[in-house]
Structure 1
Amino acid sequence: MCQESDALVSLIIPVYNAQDYLPLCIDSVLGQSYRNLEVILVDDGSTDKSSSICDAYARKDSRVRVLHQGNGGIAKAQNAGLNAVRGDYIAFADNDDILDRRNIELLMHALVKTGADMSKGRWRQFGLSQMQNVQREAGSGAEEPGTITVFTDPLRAYQTVFSKALRLLGEAAGRHSEARYLNEANWCRLYRADLWEGIRFPEGRYAQDTAVAGRLYARMNKVADIDTNLYNWLQRPESVTHSKQKTSFYHDHIQAALENMALCREKTITPARSYYTLMGNLRYERNLEASSEGTSQLFVADQEAASTALGYLSLTQRGYCRILSGLRLLEKAVYDRRIKNLA
């Protein structure tokens, strides 16, 4: 496929204690068929060999830039990368994941061809036992996409097209529902750089991706989806999303959901996904409170804020949100069981 653009793409990789997987990730980035890359490795105070691995790659490839900083969390690392970008387009990757060789090429083709603000591809989860197969397939490069689907009003799609069962029904009806699925992840996307002007991740908080997702989608007019796997997401039990959480984790997700619900109210969109996030994390927070002595002021404040936000929803909106939330909970039980079985 001919590349319609030779514009510089800045690819940001926050790095923290990933010495066992980091070289595989960086190799998959430097091996991209799209060559005009600026690879920004943000070492967030790693205590293993990750820092020296980053520096070694910078010495070998002039496209690699390394930023070293004290440990401040993924949001601080992502922001440092955003503040340093020079490219016209921005992409992200996690430090233990593997990109398909044609990831940037195909995302760029879709974005330029359609005039979209962001392009995205499909991804898959994999376990450590599948590493060699994933490396081989990713290195071979994806086939030409069967369909590039363009859709508008991505904020509405983000809030409403998140149930897998309903997406399957939509696909069967020819509505390209899977293409309209958006979550909070930043990887396997290619953004126009100007979308990030004035937007940064909230530092010192969990749910940093959820906190900016709504604002980003509200800025976009068009999104292009490629029906091809372009990204491989490693599942490790020690990762943040798979580890035991604490009250602050749930509180931060509640705050992010409330912020997105306020944005939806402004845009007259039913916040079904944010309702699901809000109610689920309130439930987890409540269960955690029940196992401790007394009730924290943080939990009381979260309950009051949630009650206020829910009061803005009509009865019809609440019913719709409850139905989608219940369906998504059933799907999550199946998803969690499948992911835990990845080895």
Structure 2
Amino acid sequence: MPANKPLVSIIVPVYNAQRYLRHCVDSILGQSYRNLQILLIDDGATDASGRICDEYASQDARVTVIHKPNGGIASAQNAGLDVATGDCIAFCDNDDIMHSSNIEHLLMALQRTRSDMAKGRWNQIGVSELPSTIKSASAAQKMGALTLIDDPLNAYQSVFCKTLRILGGARTEARYFNEANWCRLYKRELWDGLRFKEGHFAQDIRMAGPLYARMKRVVDVNEVLYYWLQEPDSVTHSKRTPAFWHDNVIAAAENFEFTLKRGVVPYRNYFGLTASVRDELRGLAGNSHARDDDRSLVQADRLGMRRMLGKMTAPQRLVGWVLASIRRAENLAYDVLIHAKR
């Protein structure tokens, strides 16, 4: 990586995002770090999103637009990775906002610590908060404190309950990972030969284990650098079908086994696996028109979960159950306080 001004590629999958897309792209163009390759991947949008992308490309030479048939977010992210030429890679969702210091501060942290990935903090916002967020996101701010994490895969699997993160203090909070690719800055070589599995809802869960396993060191920047817009119609908040739940079960199981083989206890995937099977069972119980295929699939997932959990020791399963119980309670509060944002 060049020591002075490395090129940073920012990949933005775009699909039917005309309502918020300009806010997102404006926040990227407004980055204090200027040496950017901005890749807007029009994933077969049927609204004005593609035209908006082309407008930005005609106004700023740093913007490149790729128009492709709809293939889902994994396909769009892969299309961006295939053409990215930057020394570092970042992602941004098409309705979110990056703080103007996002790339500058993450890049400084990456270079100072010689880490494989730099990550920042984020806030969830509602649509009504967009005007104030846009203003605060453009304001200058000092770089936050840095914390090094030398075991990223273990941190990802073990630190995921908000309650325990609060009780553990700043060091524990810094070790918090999730599957999201935004508010991260990656060294380009991490993605060599690695691509998202297309045609699935939970492409980020499948990627988490293999990606974090490649990293020797991660640096956390204690600073809000990203704003995640909460929309009731987004896939994360609204897509609740047998296919969605099943995909989450399989993704958690794949990541569970990948992690366990590397000598790390997959506590996060214990929660993801059991929660997704529970959602499947509840969805089946509440669907009087469920097909026999759906019932067979749920039962197969339930048996597969039991076999997978049987690979853990009894003490590990107990810890997993405790952590999962805490996380489920937190999710109830999260649904009320965060998903209800307007």
Q: What amino acid is the match of 1:49?
A: A
Aligned pairs (5 A) from 1:103-142: 103-142=102-141
1:190 aligns to what? 185
Which residue is 1:281 aligned to?
276
Equivalenced residue count is: 337
**Which residue is equivalent to 1:154?**
152
* Counterpart Cα distance in 1 of 2:90 and 2:247: 25
Partner of 2:51: 52
Say what the alpha-carbon RMSD is for the aligned residues: 1.3
TM-superposed CA distance for 1:300, in Å, is 2.7
2:236 aligned with 1:241, yes or no? yes
Long gaps (5+) in structure 1: none
Matches within 5 A, 1:1-343: 5-145=4-144, 147-171=145-169, 176-290=171-285, 291=287, 292-294=290-292, 296-343=295-342
Q: What secondary structure is seen at the aligned counterpart in 1 of 2:119?
A: strand
State the alpha-carbon separation in 2 of the partners of residues 161 and 123 from structure 1: 17
Query: For 2:339 and 2:177, how far apart are their aligned partners in 1?
Result: 23
| 1:129 counterpart letter in structure 2 | S
CA contact (8 A) 2:12 2:93 kept: yes
Structure 1 residue 297, shift from structure 2 partner: 2.9
* CA distance 1:261–1:244, shift in 2 (3 Å): closer
Contact 1:128 1:234 in 2 (8 A): yes
- 1:250-273 Cα offsets, whole Å, 9 max, x none, are 111111111111112211111110
CA distance in 2, matches of 1:141, 1:88: 25
CA contact (8 A) 2:13 2:93 kept: yes
The residue type paired with residue 80 of structure 1 is: A
CA–CA separation in structure 2 for the residues paired with 1:333 and 1:203? 30
Spell out, residue by residue over 1:23-43, the C-alpha distance to the aligned partner (whole angstroms, 9 max, x if none).
Answer: 111011011110000000000
Q: Is the 8 A contact 1:11 1:39 kept in 2?
A: yes
TM-score, length of structure 1 as denominator length: 0.96
Contact 1:142 1:228 in 2 (8 A): no
Given that residues 254 and 278 in structure 1 are in contact (C-alpha distance below 8 angstroms), is that contact kept between their aligned partners in structure 2?
A: yes
Distance 1:88 1:297 in 2: 47
Normalised TM-score (structure 2):
0.96
Alpha-carbon distance in structure 2 between the residues aligned to 1:298 and 1:78: 29
What is the rounded CA distance, in whole Å, between the counterparts of 2:267 and 2:237 in structure 1?
Answer: 24
